[in-house]
Homo-oligomer: A and B are copies of this chain.
Amino acid sequence: MKPTVHDIAVHAGVSLATVDRVLNNRPGVRHETRAKVDAAVAALGFVRDMAAANLAKGRVYPLTFILPSNDNSFMRGLAAAVGDAIARAAVERLAIRIIEVPAFDPQALVAALREAGREKPAGIALVAVDAPEVRAVVDELVEAGIPVVTLVSDLPGSKRQHYAGIDNIAAGRTAASLMGRFLGREPGSVAVLAGSLVVRDHRERFEGFRAVMAAEFGHLHLLPVLEGRDDPATAERVLREALAAHADIAGIYSLGAGNRGLVRLLKEVRRDRRPAVIAHELTGTTRAALTDGLIDAVLNQDAGHEVRSAIRVLKASADGQSVVEAQERIRLDIFLRDNLP
């Protein structure tokens, strides 16, 4: 039978209360007593029953999610995933609160983090904006003992516990490999449509894409990055101009959002002259385009998985437990017409 606190108490010759104090590193226990308990724990191979502990404590995990109020399909999906988590909140002892902040606004994010921190939640998840002041507050929070994880967009160099998102450099490299393979040996130009290169994910994707294109597919010419601001209309306009200016565009890599504009444009292109197209995020638009043969591949991150992972990590971190590493690695999904979920 698995040993319980009771067994530990007997073995160590102390009371339950003392065992509990030691187990939870609470003050008010003599060094020697502590040692006796530790010895008993080791001797009996005791592992705490977290479920019972949580029951006794009536513990709930107040978690705060800070999400950009960006209105694109992906962010809506992310918000929906958090909503799903809220639906399961009762049974998982969660109390999830969402704070919305304007996108790409470091100041707003800092303010939101401060606000979140004041309520001393069991953990905070945020879609990071890569700015020094954000890094500073995150570090403060972590040092104050509040676990923080970044979601979708990371904050490297900060003290955040974990990043629940894909490797964007690998995503860009993968896109380049696929593009190169799809285009074959004939020369041509490749256009890249980003939201904005001031955003870290987009910059990293481009970086990875550029690197592999240069190293492996020298016969393809990479055009200057087009910035579509994640906005369908803008994306359509800049792409239309690019297509007009460069007759030899054989491929398009859309690494940001706003793919509705891209797809509208693609529909106008004669089927046999359509470029190879790789886009990000499986949404209604990209899924339909994939099915219709307008887009050739979609690189995706699973928002549901990211949110569940963030929650698992925050919970575990809140009570000093470890996680199944492999389970928390967010995968880059590659969707073709044939393996749509």
Contact = CB atoms under 8 A, between A and B. Distances in A.
A207 to B, nearest CB: 13
Contacts of A51: 51-52, 54-55
Interface in A177-191: 177-178, 181-182, 184-185
A304 interface: yes
A90 B2 contact: yes
B338 A331 contact: no
A178 B185 CA distance: 16
Given A55-B52, A304-B326, A91 B47 contact: yes
Contacts of A333: 331, 333
A308 interface: yes
A245 to B, nearest CB: 27
A171 interface: yes
Contacts of A302: 326
A interface, by DSSP: helix, strand, loop or mixed? helix
Contacts of A324: 84, 88, 304, 308
A95 to B, nearest CB: 11
A28 B333 CA distance: 52
A219 B184 CA distance: 16
Contact of A337 (B177, B208, B308, B337): B177
A62 to B, nearest CB: 15
Given A51-B54, A305-B327, 11 more contacts: A49-B91, A167-B339, A173-B338, A177-B337, A177-B338, A181-B182, A181-B296, A304-B326, A308-B327, A331-B341, A334-B339
Interface of A: 2, 47, 49-52, 54-55, 84, 88, 90-91, 167, 170-171, 173-174, 176-178, 181-182, 184-185, 208, 212, 296, 302, 304-305, 308, 324, 326-327, 329, 331-334, 336-339, 341
